[in-house]
Amino acid sequence: MHLPNRLHAPAILQTLQVVADPVQFLDTCAQRYGDTFTTRVLGFNSPPVVFFGNPKALQ
């Protein structure tokens, strides 16, 4: 399965950023990667998490 635009920062850094300021994290990611992007925000060995900023992307 191909996942959309993936963040390249280490999972622990992504997790810390989303815990510290989730809105800023999501806004920054959306600006950098577009409406749909993949993160690993649950720490080490976590499954990828895909965020959708546009409901039409789910169709």
pLDDT per residue as tens digits for the range 6-51: 888 888 888 899 899 999 999 999 999 998 999 888 766 778 889 9
5 in Cβ contact with 28 (< 8 Å): no
pTM tops 0.85: no
Which phi and psi (to 5°) does residue 52 adopt? Answer: -115, 120
* Own/partner pairs, 10-17, CB within 8 angstroms, 24+ separation: 11/40, 11/41, 11/42, 11/43, 11/44, 11/46, 12/43, 12/44, 14/39, 14/40, 14/41, 15/40, 15/41, 15/42, 15/43
Domain ranges of the chain: 1-6+21-59
Locus of tokens 């815990």: 19
